[in-house]
Structures are given as C-alpha cells and as structure tokens.
Amino acid sequence: MPDSKKTIWNLKNVMEKAGLKTDKSIHGIEYGETSLRVELLIDDLIKVSKALENPKFTNAEYEEYGEFGSATVIKKFGGWNKAKLKAGLQIGGNYNTTIEEYMQNILTLWTHYGIQPKYSEVMRPISKYNVSSYENKFGTWKKSLIAFIEYMNEEQPDSESTTDDNELVQLTENVSSKKQKKKEIKVKRAPRQINLRLRWKILKRDNFSCNKCGNSPSKDLNVELHVDHIIPWSNGGETDFENLETLCSDCNLGKSNLM
C-alpha cells in the first residue's frame, strides 16, 4: 500500500478509535478516487435507501447518511440520477420544473453570494434545487451557467414588458375654441412586478451591491438585496432600467418608512 494511502487509513482508524466521525472525503480517498469500485458506491446507495425506507432519497440526504459523499458518487457516475438508475433506485427529480424556474433559482444564488455561484454552493436552503437537477437538465453546472447567461441576454418578450394593467388618465381635449371637455383614455404601463431579465440587468449594473450603503452579499452573506422602484409605481414611476435600483433590505425598509 502506498505511503499516502497508509497515512489516510491510519488516520481513519485513529479517529474511529477516538469515537470521532471521519470526514466523507477520506472515505473516497482511502480507496483512491480513480480505483473506487462502482459496486461499493451502488451497495452504499442501496443501504441508505433501505435505512431511510425511501428509494427517492436526495443527494443531500445521502450526504448526511452515506459513507462516501454525494460529490464522489456524482463524479463516478456522471450525475446523481445516473447513479440512482445504476443502483436500481427511483429518481425523485423535478421534471415539471420550467426553464424560468431554474433560471430564477440561479439568480437567487447569484444575488445571495454577490458573485457567480460555484458548484459547491448549489445547496439547500439557499438553492431550491440540487446541483444534480441542473446536471440532469443541462448536462453540467457550467453548461447551466452558460444557459443562464444566454437566457438573460435574450430579447425580452412583449408579454414581459406589457400587461392589461392599464391606467385611466384624465386628459383635456379641445373640442372647439370655446368648449373643452375631459376625456378618459387608457394608457398602457409596464407592470409593477419586475421580471427576471430586468432584475438581472439591474443587479448586474449595480454590481450586486446596495446603492445606498454599498453593502453586498460578497462581503456579508447576511445582506439581502432587493430591486425596487426609485419613484414608486403607485406614484407614476415606471418599471424600467432608469427607475429601478438595488437596495439591501435595511435601506429598502428605511426608504419605505420615509414614504
């Protein structure tokens, strides 16, 4: 046995004798990641399934109860659901999830971290979906990010920029030089709700930082960012690039208290 493997094996024995739980990464390394037998992983997947009495268990649950760690399984089989299929287990993936829902989730992650989310950061409770869901849908996490950028750069459909939320506006119409009458007409406005693509553009323009205090999730993960109207929509402010800004939750609450 090579010295490196002996060291890891001895470390595991020492930790177990001391009553300490070994890190999951050690379990994968001790066999050698390239030589780790598929049968060992499949047996462990089946063992966890029986222990939980749930053949649809998630990779997050395997991370907690499995011996090898979900990253090792995903790397070995090329995806979480591929591993489940090899083990004869059921897949509990989100097959009805829309592309927009996947993109919304990436934007939530990007906003939370203030930078492009990493593979290891796609986890609950911040992420609604496991990284395996993205691998299933797009092939890899990198391809998911490419799809996200392409989606956000697509031309905005008309359905996203206009709605039937028309506003009645009083206008004065000249009927003759002597008479005037008021006429109500409907003027189409952009909706109050800020759509996904526009939200992304505002956050990116503002460097994922609060316009008031400069706080950012990249500096403090407790910072929560919002995109809000500068001139309130109820006061005639439009939902457009010029009238939207990024604020942290504290500054946005403070602004609301002043109105």
- At 253 the pLDDT is 84
Number of Cβ within 10 Å of residue 51's Cβ equals 11
Sign (positive or negative) of CA dihedral 61, 67, 70, 73? negative
Identify whether the C-beta of residue 9 lies closer than 8 Å to the C-beta of residue 26: no
Identify whether the C-beta of residue 71 lies closer than 8 Å to the C-beta of residue 60: no
Give the phi and the psi of residue 190 in degrees, each rounded to 5. Answer: -65, 150
- At 132 the pLDDT is 80
What 3-state class would DSSP assign to 121? helix
> pTM score > 0.85 for this model?
no
Tens digit of pLDDT at every position of the chain (259 positions): 444 334 434 434 544 554 444 445 444 444 444 456 888 889 999 999 898 888 888 877 888 888 887 888 888 888 777 888 888 888 765 556 889 999 999 999 999 999 999 999 998 888 988 888 898 889 899 999 999 999 999 876 544 444 334 444 443 444 444 455 555 555 567 788 899 999 999 999 999 999 999 999 988 989 999 999 999 988 989 999 999 999 999 998 876 555 5
- At 161 the pLDDT is 43
Tokens of 31: 């066999």
| Separation CA 238–CA 234 (nearest Å) | 9
- At 159 the pLDDT is 43
Where do we find the tokens 């990779």? 59
- At 25 the pLDDT is 45
What 3-state class would DSSP assign to 168? strand
